[in-house]
Amino acid sequence: MRPFAYERASDAPEAVAALREHGAGATYLGGGTNLVDLMKLGVETPDTLIDVSRLPLAGVEERPDGGLRIGAAVRNSELAGHRAVRERYPLLSAALLSGASGQLRNLATVGGNLLQRTRCSYFQDVTKPCNKREPGSGCPAIEGDHRNLAIIGHSDACVATHPSDMAVAMVALDATVEVEGEGGTRTIPLRELHRLPGDEPQRDTVLEPGDLITAVELPPLAFGSRSSYRKVRDRASFSFAVLSVAAALDVADGVVRDCRLALGAVAHVPWRAARAEEELRGKPAGEESFAAAADAELEQARPLRDNAFKVPLARALIVRTLTELCDR
Ligand SMILES: Cc1cc2nc3c(=O)[nH]c(=O)nc-3n(C[C@H](O)[C@H](O)[C@H](O)COP(=O)(O)OP(=O)(O)OC[C@H]3O[C@@H](n4cnc5c(N)ncnc54)[C@H](O)[C@@H]3O)c2cc1C
Ligand code: SF4
């Protein structure tokens, strides 16, 4: 690993100013569970780390409207166990608990989790070309190992997926992200934070250099307690999703009044299944409608040579998850 300088800031504006002062070689450090691994592999080579994990952003606050404001430095394990999250947004608690391991969740922060990089094996191997790491060098995953990569929204330049479980649940919850940048504070709907690869796969998000995530806001969701997160993975624990579904369901008199659905490990972004939601509203709550909704979403899937299995898997996972929520 290359030598680097380490600094701590005392508040968010100071962190932003420190990063600006150090220039392009500086980056923020959250829990370090992704960044430090990538530094060891030579994928990330910052000369200065600005530690933002100890900023006064580690609280979960109740909002007057019943929503929650989650500081960017809140650790994943704390958020998963927070009473309001378990009671009002169980899909978020389940998504967090399905990720990584207890030790990693104790370190990982909300800000770092959202900005963790893809697990595409070529991205992590500096001896291989990769358009995300080195724009213009090529994408060996398209013809190579892509079993666990994207089926929706990918491009000729990149077929990677976003790895976070937490982000899938948060996208289903219409979360917004608060960002401190050069021009002050602004908010971005989480759904618009991550971007599809297009011909600029090196840009994971719409953030500008130096932007610091300071908080995530969850609006209230009246039917949030009837929600869940299901994750298919190759091992029972300590493993990224092969596919995941975050869902919340509001049923009255056997009819779907409202619903939230998002998919993980299908795209370069945590994928909000808006077409499925639209198809489902007003339909009888049952397997037939759930399957039709899944089909409406997955119609846009363009699987690669070795990951077509994800399409029927996503369909089955959506139907199963919604059916179980219906039976609650
Ligand atoms: C073995 C292993 C298994 C894992 N399994 C899973 C899994 O199953 N599911 C899952 O979702 N995740 C999994 N993870 C990933 C883990 O969740 C992430 O590494 C973690 O959430 C990243 O958070 P962090 O605070 O450690 O981020 P860091 O590693 O510190 O930072 C990640 C990125 O975010 C940037 N950053 C950090 N904080 C901020 C901020 N506030 N504002 C702007 N930029 C910031 C950093 O500069 C860096 O680019 C696994 C990781 C490992 C090592
Ligand atoms: S899929 Fe994306 S991250 Fe993976 S090798 Fe291709 S360009 Fe790189």
What pLDDT does 236 receive? 86
270 lines ligand 1 (CB under 6 A): no
pLDDT for position 328: 80
| pLDDT value, residue 60 | 98
pLDDT at position 164: 98
Decide whether any atom of ligand 2 lies within 6 Å of the 159 Cβ: yes
- 183 CB-contact burial (10 Å; exposed 0-12 / middle 13-18 / buried 19+): exposed
Model pLDDT, residue 267: 98
Give the position, in ligand 1's atom list, of the atom nearest the Cα of 179: 42
Element (H, E) at 7: strand 5-8
Contacts of 270 (CB under 8 A, 6+ apart): 162, 164, 167, 168, 170, 171, 190, 194, 262, 263, 264
What pLDDT score does 237 carry?
83
- Computed over every residue of the chain, the mean pLDDT equals 97
Residues of the chain with pLDDT under 50: none
Atom of ligand 1 nearest to the CA of 231: 8
- Testing ligand 2's pocket by substitution, the residue of 123, 149, 154 carrying the most ligand atoms inside 8 A of its CB is 123
Q: How far is the CA of 75 from the centre of ligand 1 (A)?
A: 11
Quick one: which atom of ligand 2 is closest to the CA of 120? Answer: 4
CB 130 less than 6 A from any atom of ligand 2: yes
Per the CB < 8 A criterion, the answer to whether 64 and 216 are in contact is no
Q: Are 83 and 108 in contact (CB under 8 A)?
A: no
